[in-house]
Structure 1
């Protein structure tokens, strides 16, 4: 059996920026003294004249990005999610969101899989924060292929986009000829009738593995990949809920304000359905190996399997 290829989506982000810049000379990349970690150093090496290191000044970086966008450039402002969404929230809201400028935010090192950096750097609140900004598109890709497609789609979209990337290497699951990325459209990866598992980011591959374990127990789980959390594919969510009767959301993010909240808001309006939210349960993360943290917080395949089985 061949070994599964794993790539961190932050690496995909850096590589995608280079390919994008080869085709479009209006692409600029900004960083806040973290180019090696966010992988924008890959871009810096190829296009040093279009890379701006703003130093440890994320709020200023967002302001510079807004200025570049106002002149017709397409800036990709890059930093850890904790800093891009957290520290610079006011600037993202007022300097990018309010004037609806064409700024793309590449937020890496999101979620508890940041690992040993600990709770201060494990941003489990960024999706919730960005969802509140009017007009902000939120993309959370599940693997290397989807991350590269998300960067391209973000460039082609006119307006602000928040992209969420991870530090941990994750399996490639979208390597099929019919794969298509479209903002606002979820993807059904596995059909099922007993329960719908709606997942995002690195939790998608874990949910697929959990579904296989559930199948061995006679539970037929549908698995849906929601790479765009805003705008949410409400039609797909509602259809899955009506077909399966029960829904489980899975995200490497707080259960408050993220994918789970978006799904529940939709279903409460359009198709009231029992829902279980799997994610970080209103607590901070902690320092430790990424894989061990995912296990402890119930976000690996075994944890998802156990939660879904109990719910069904």
Structure 2
């Protein structure tokens, strides 16, 4: 694993990555089957799907049905991958995921795109601030928030092979560039991107690059931050959290999600049992989303580099 963060965007977006990755995986594994809720063009898979109708199913705008169909395919021995926008891949089909997939022990991987503020101009109806919380509540589920496309390329094939219900949330456009191509990761293990003695910043997905930018700003003030990419939110890496919390004495979480039930909750739960220290958060408060460009929304909901710096300083003061 090599970190090449420079403050700039990834060289490609997640849509571009999925448009290559999913067809490659389908070609390599005859048991894989791909289902979409009328959004194949949004994931870059429509061209492949048109010529591979035996492996790709467009169920239409019917997310609950999509999960039910996927569960039946899983029961018949297939390994389904499902996609829709984040709110529709989570809250709209939650009961079907819970009962037909998780409870019935039918393995499947669910992709929820454009989570949180990355839904941008699609607005509040399409802006899930609660998808991680929903999937964390499902027994045995795995929940992933990918930082960039280099990470996605390594973890997605591993995730699809993992048993149980798996949920991965990604932007469709590019996040900040964090990792070099060819970097390797282990599901369930956080990645230490930077080491420092004063505060631990635990970030996921869209906020990983922002956390690294915040660490650079803090360093200019003489504050050294450890930065962790906690791309697996469930099961969370409790051992790494405990180790870093003991070293720095306080923790800040950063997530593109509501503060209820997401990364802040997961980290706080783990540390309350293993290493109680002050924990601050950068997350959306108890609000619905709204329409706007991503940069505007990040400022509006407090998900910027400067917000991470401010919360880190305030949390350090509580030690």
Give the TM-score taking structure 2 as reference length. 0.93
Q: Which residue of 2 aligns with 1:123?
A: 128
Q: Which residue of 1 aligns with 2:232?
A: 228
SS at match of 2:91: helix
1:283 lines up with 2:287 in the alignment? yes
Q: Is the 1:29–1:40 contact (alpha carbons within 8 Å) kept by the matching residues of 2?
A: no
Distance 1:52 1:176, change over 3 A: closer
1:98-177 matches, cutoff 5 A: 98-175=103-180
For 1:217 and 1:295, the matched residues in 2 are separated by 22
Q: Which residue of 2 aligns with 1:69?
A: 74
Q: Is the 1:190–1:223 contact (alpha carbons within 8 Å) kept by the matching residues of 2?
A: yes
Structure 1 residue 21, shift from structure 2 partner: 1.5
1:272 lines up with 2:276 in the alignment? yes
Q: What's the Cα RMSD here? A: 1.7
Q: Deviations over 1:264-308 (max 9, x none)?
A: 001111111100011101111111001111122221222222322
For 1:3 and 1:246, the matched residues in 2 are separated by 28
Structure 1 residue 43, shift from structure 2 partner: 4.2
Q: Which residue of 2 aligns with 1:302?
A: 306
Q: Which runs of 5+ in 1 are unaligned?
A: none
Q: Is the 1:77–1:106 contact (alpha carbons within 8 Å) kept by the matching residues of 2?
A: yes
Q: Which residue of 2 aligns with 1:239?
A: 243
Q: Which residue of 1 aligns with 2:201?
A: 197
Q: Is the 1:196–1:241 contact (alpha carbons within 8 Å) kept by the matching residues of 2?
A: yes
Equivalent residue pairs, number: 311
For 2:263 and 2:88, the matched residues in 1 are separated by 21
Structure 1 residue 99, shift from structure 2 partner: 1.4
For 1:83 and 1:55, the matched residues in 2 are separated by 12
1:30-49 matches, cutoff 5 A: 30-41=35-46, 43-45=48-50, 47-49=52-54
Q: Which runs of 5+ in 2 are unaligned?
A: 1-5
Structure 1 residue 12, shift from structure 2 partner: 2.3
Distance 1:46 1:250, change over 3 A: farther
More displaced 10-residue stretch of structure 1: 258-267 or 101-110: 101-110
Structure 1 residue 150, shift from structure 2 partner: 2.3
SS at match of 1:219: coil
Structure 1 residue 176, shift from structure 2 partner: 6.3
Distance 1:307 1:43, change over 3 A: farther
Select 1:93's aligned residue among 94, 98, 109: 98
Structure 1 residue 36, shift from structure 2 partner: 1.3
Q: Is the 1:30–1:53 contact (alpha carbons within 8 Å) kept by the matching residues of 2?
A: yes
Distance 1:303 1:7, change over 3 A: farther
